[in-house]
C-alpha cells in the first residue's frame, strides 16, 4: 500500500510549504512540494536494489525561489515553453504577455505556476495514493485572459508508476499548455553526464527552431539526422555533431512529435530512457502530442543540488510532455485554445524499472 507522510519545507509569502513523501513497498519514494508542484526527488532502486535520487532538485526552498532557478521539477504554465513576441491573438484580439526570455515568453512568464504555493489534498485509492494540488490563476495574471481553475494530481502506485493528471477550466477563451519540468539522471542526481543514457522516442518528426528557440513551423523528419531516436541511441552519440539545430541550442532542446493520429488523446508509450550501468529505465506514457527533450544545456555549475554537488551542462535530461511550443502562431500545430464549458485533461505516467 502506498504511504504518504508530510513534512514542512519552509514558507513563501507567509504561506507554509509542505513536502509530501509518497512511498511504495518496492522502495520507490517520490517527494512533491506544494511550492510550484515541484517533484523534488525520486528515489529509485537499481538492479542491485540500491536506491538513488534520480531527479535533480535543491536541498531547501531558497534554491527554488532564485530568479534564475532552472525550473527543477516544477509545474510550468500557464503556457509551458515559448511564445514568440510574448503575445498571441485569439478571436481577433491580441494579448500581450510578460516577456521573460529576450522578447519572448517562457514557461508562464515572470511569475508562472512554478512560483506559487498550491492548495493540497491527499488522494487515496486501492491502487494508488498521492496529492492533488489546486490553484485558480486570476484573469489577467501574466497577461493571460480568463480565470483558470487548475488541478494537478500526482499519484504513485505499487507498479512504480508516478502519474500526473492535469485538469483545467476557464471562464474566458484562453490558451493553455501544462507540463512538468523534472530533470532526470538515472545514475543519480549530481553523478555527472547523461550522455551514456540510451534514449528511444516514438517520434519520426520534430519541430526545428530559429536562433531564439521559436519553432519555424516545420515538422521535419528525424531520419538521417542527429534527432533520430526511433531506434535506441546513446544521447551522447551525436550531440556534438556539427548540426545547426544542435549548435544553436548547445545540445538537444527540441519538441519531438509523437507518431499518433491527429486528435488522438489516448495514453501511449512515447519515451524510454535507459541507463546501462545501473539498469534503471524510465518509461514515459502520455496523452500529449509531443515531448520537449532538453539535455541541461545551460546548467553551468552555479547550482548545487540536494546532494551538494554542482550541476553542469549535460548532467540531466528533461522530458516535458506537452503541446507544441508557440502553437498559437502555427495553425497546423495541435490547438492550445481552451474555452468556457470545455475541460482540459491530460495525463503523463513516469514508470521506473531496473
**Could you give the residue numbers annotated as active site?**
181, 320
Count of alpha carbons within 13 angstroms of residue 350, beta-carbon side = 29
| Residue 341: C-alpha distances to residues 146, 215, 344, 351 (Å) | 12, 30, 10, 33
Are 7 and 120 spatial neighbours (Cβ–Cβ below 8 Å)? no
Structure-block grid coordinates of residue 297: 544545456
Task: Determine the Cα angle at 293 with ends 297 and 295, to 5°.
Answer: 25
Please tell me what DSSP assigns to residue 68. Answer: T
| Number of helical (H) and strand (E) elements in the chain, helices listed first | 2, 30
If we measure between CA atoms, which residue out of 229, 330, 233, 246 comes closest to residue 295?
Answer: 246
- Burial profile 152-166: b = 16 or more Cβ within 10 angstroms, e = fewer: bbbbbbeebbbbbbb
Question: β-pairing, 268-274 with 300-304?
Answer: unpaired
Amino acid at each position: 500500500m502506498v504511504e504518504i507522510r508530510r513534512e514542512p519545507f519552509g514558507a513563501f509569502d507567509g504561506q507554509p510549504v509542505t513536502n509530501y513523501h509518497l512511498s511504495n513497498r518496492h522502495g520507490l519514494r517520490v517527494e512533491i512540494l506544494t511550492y510550484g508542484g515541484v517533484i523534488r526527488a525520486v528515489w529509485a532502486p537499481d538492479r542491485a536494489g540500491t536506491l538513488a535520487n534520480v531527479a535533480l532538485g535543491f536541498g531547501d526552498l531558497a534554491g527554488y525561489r532564485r530568479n534564475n532557478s532552472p525550473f527543477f521539477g516544477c509545474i510550468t504554465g500557464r503556457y509551458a515553453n515559448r511564445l514568440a513576441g510574448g503575445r498571441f491573438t485569439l478571436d481577433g484580439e491580441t494579448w500581450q504577455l510578460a516577456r521573460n526570455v529576450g522578447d519572448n515568453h517562457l514557461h508562464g512568464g515572470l511569475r508562472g505556476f512554478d512560483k506559487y504555493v498550491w492548495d493540497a489534498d491527499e488522494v487515496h485509492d486501492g491502487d494508488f495514493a498521492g496529492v492533488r494540488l489546486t490553484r485558480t490563476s486570476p484573469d489577467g495574471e501574466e497577461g493571460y485572459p480568463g480565470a483558470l481553475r487548475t488541478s494537478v494530481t500526482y499519484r504513485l502506485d505499487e507498479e512504480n508508476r508516478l502519474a500526473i493528471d492535469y485538469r483545467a477550466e476557464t471562464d474566458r477563451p484562453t490558451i493553455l499548455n501544462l507540463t512538468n519540468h523534472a530533470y532526470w539522471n538515472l545514475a543519480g542526481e549530481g553523478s555527472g553526464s547523461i550522455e551514456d543514457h540510451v534514449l528511444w522516442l516514438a517520434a519520426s518528426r520534430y519541430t526545428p527552431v530559429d536562433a531564439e528557440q521559436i519553432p519555424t513551423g516545420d515538422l521535419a523528419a528525424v531520419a538521417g539526422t542527429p534527432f533520430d531516436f526511433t531506434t535506441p541511441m546513446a544521447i551522447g552519440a551525436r550531440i556534438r555533431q556539427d548540426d545547426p539545430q544542435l549548435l544553436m541550442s548547445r545540445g538537444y532542446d527540441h519538441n519531438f512529435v509523437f507518431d499518433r493520429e491527429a486528435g488522438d488523446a489516448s495514453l501511449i508509450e512515447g519515451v524510454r530512457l535507459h541507463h546501462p550501468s545501473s539498469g534503471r529505465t524510465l518509461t514515459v506514457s502520455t496523452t500529449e502530442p509531443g515531448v520537449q527533450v532538453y539535455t541541461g544545456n545551460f546548467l553551468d555549475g552555479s547550482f548545487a543540488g540536494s546532494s551538494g554537488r554542482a550541476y553542469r551542462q549535460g548532467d540531466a535530461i528533461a522530458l516535458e510532455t506537452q503541446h507544441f511550443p508557440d502553437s498559437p502562431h502555427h495553425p497546423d500545430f495541435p490547438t492550445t485554445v481552451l474555452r468556457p464549458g470545455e475541460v482540459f485533461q491530460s495525463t503523463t505516467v513516469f514508470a521506473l524499472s531496473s
